[in-house]
Amino acid sequence: MTEVAAQKTHVVVVGGGYAGTLAANRLRQRPDVEVTLVNPRPLFVERIRLHQLVADTGAATADYATLLGDGIRLVVDTVDRIETADRRVLLSSGRELGYDYLIYAVGSTGAAPAAVPGFAEFAHSAADLESAQRLRYALADLPLAAPVTVVGGGLTGIETAAELAERGRQVTLVCGAALGPSLSRRGRRSVAKRLRRFGVNVLESATVAEVRWDAVVLGDGAVLPSAATVWTAGFAVPDLAARSGLSTDALGRLLTDETLTSIDNPYIVAAGDAAAPSGQPLRMSCQAAGPLGAQAADTVLSRLTGTAPARLNQAFVGQCISLGRTYGTVQLARTDDTPVNMALGGRTAASIKEAICKATLWGIRREAARPGSYRWLKGGRRPAQAPAEIALR
């Protein structure tokens, strides 16, 4: 009598960033789970190093062959729509993939400002690989003395401005309301001190009203020469969830319960920048993405064993900012991600930031070699009253 092989559970992971790649590796704890990772690029992008790519001080990609565990199928394609009723995804190539469970980890990208003339024609972004590469090529054609404007005083803008200025670029950083709004007073002071050393012209309480091919016009009418304008103000998420008829928050992040399960569909679990658990998303960062990816995978594995998934449980320790290759700032925080007025600046902080950058890939590779080995800090506060977990139908 012929023995019938057990049918495997197929999990499709949409998005191969920090959260999606770690989730795919963690799912391999069960040999009866088949994992397909769908990503628009054949290479893993280190988002936290894109400012280095822009300034030509480092690479920002890694080969998936070095990151994914054995048996994970990588499909280089883009998901156009999730058909939740019959559990399949429609790809841009025209292909379809069925799934038993789907992990939604599409990440984030740069936000386009509303009604800023010239933005689409003349502003550059450093939020994704292709944009960063185009900016790198554009800068390579400019003399060092050509003025560069970075718009956005958040961590991406700070790191980009510092990286370019350390290379000898003449940089103006237009901060909006304030420099480093997520930092404490001491953290901002540490960052500002180094930017001054690099000669960066920091403009606080300033906005950009127009981008021209050779200048930016500020909100007060002042015109600043700018041979290249880099827009880092704000992030957005892909609209795949909304296009697929799933509930999202105002930014487009998938609304989930505290087990990261979609409030609409028990077979879809979210992780990373595009997840909004209880409508209160964590800060967009690789610090949040890795643990979210692990917890999303654990939710799926719990469903398969018939046990109740654990509620979201993770904590923050602070923010690490690179200010060129030899200086950095480490902003300490409470476990709920609110900053405390303590910061470390200097070469030691730069070494810590570099060690963390390397550790993110090390953690993914270790999870590939030993599924289930990934650990993260727990104990951060979550909403006191969260929506009830969705039950399997």
Classify residue 49: in a domain, yes or no: no
Q: Residues 188, 279: one domain? A: no
* Residue found by looking up tokens 């300034």 in the block: 55
Per-residue 3-state assignment (H helix, E strand, C coil) for 79-129 = EEEEECCCCEEEECCCCEEECCEEEECCCCEECCCCCCCCHHHHEEECCCH
Which sign does the torsion angle of CA 161, 163, 164, 165 carry? positive
**pLDDT tops 90 at residue 391:** no
Q: What pLDDT, on the 0 to 100 scale, is given for residue 11?
A: 98
Q: CA 192, CA 33: separation in Å to the nearest integer? A: 50
Give 382's pLDDT tier (boundaries 50, 70, 90): low
Classify residue 2: in a domain, yes or no: no
Mean pLDDT of 319-348: 97
Q: CA 201, CA 387: separation in Å to the nearest integer? A: 46
108: left (phi over 0), alpha (psi -120 to 50) or beta: beta
Q: Residues 131, 146: one domain? A: yes
Give 389's pLDDT tier (boundaries 50, 70, 90): very low
Mean pLDDT of 129-146: 97
Q: Residues 192, 325: one domain? A: yes
Q: Residues 227, 343: one domain? A: yes
Q: Residues 119, 98: one domain? A: no
Cα dist. 71→65, 218, 368 in Å?
11, 53, 10
**Domains of the chain: total:** 2
* Number of Cβ within a 10 Å radius of residue 337: 20
Q: Residues 13, 102: one domain? A: yes
Between helix 286-305 and helix 18-26 the angle, nearest 10°, is 30
**pLDDT tops 60 at residue 116:** yes
**pLDDT tops 90 at residue 106:** yes
Q: CA 42, CA 260: separation in Å to the nearest integer? A: 27
* Residue found by looking up tokens 């502003």 in the block: 123
Mean pLDDT for the chain overall = 95
Q: What pLDDT, on the 0 to 100 scale, is given for residue 383?
A: 59
Mean pLDDT of 28-49: 97
Cα dist. 33→36, 65, 300, 370, 383 in Å?
10, 20, 10, 16, 33
Q: What is the pTM of this model?
A: 0.95
Q: Encoding tokens for residue 203?
A: 């403009």
Q: Residues 202, 132: one domain? A: yes
Chain centroid to Cα 131, Å, comes to 15
Domain CATH number, residue 81: 3.50.50.60
Q: 73: Cβ–Cβ under 8 A, 6 or more apart, which residues?
A: 34, 35, 36, 37
Q: Residues 17, 155: one domain? A: no
Let me know: does 270 contact 296? Beta carbons within 8 Å.
yes
Give 265's pLDDT tier (boundaries 50, 70, 90): very high
Classify residue 171: in a domain, yes or no: yes
Q: CA 162, CA 257: separation in Å to the nearest integer? A: 39
Mean pLDDT of 137-149: 97
Classify residue 60: in a domain, yes or no: no
Classify residue 64: in a domain, yes or no: no
Q: Residues 307, 251: one domain? A: yes
pLDDT, one tens digit per residue, over 51-62 is 999 999 999 999
Classify residue 286: in a domain, yes or no: yes
Q: Residues 165, 258: one domain? A: no
The SS3 of residue 10 is: strand
Residue 380 gets which letter from DSSP?
-
Range of the domain at 344: 113-233+316-374
Domain CATH number, residue 139: 3.50.50.100
Mean pLDDT of 24-36: 98
Q: Residues 222, 252: one domain? A: no
Q: Residues 189, 294: one domain? A: no
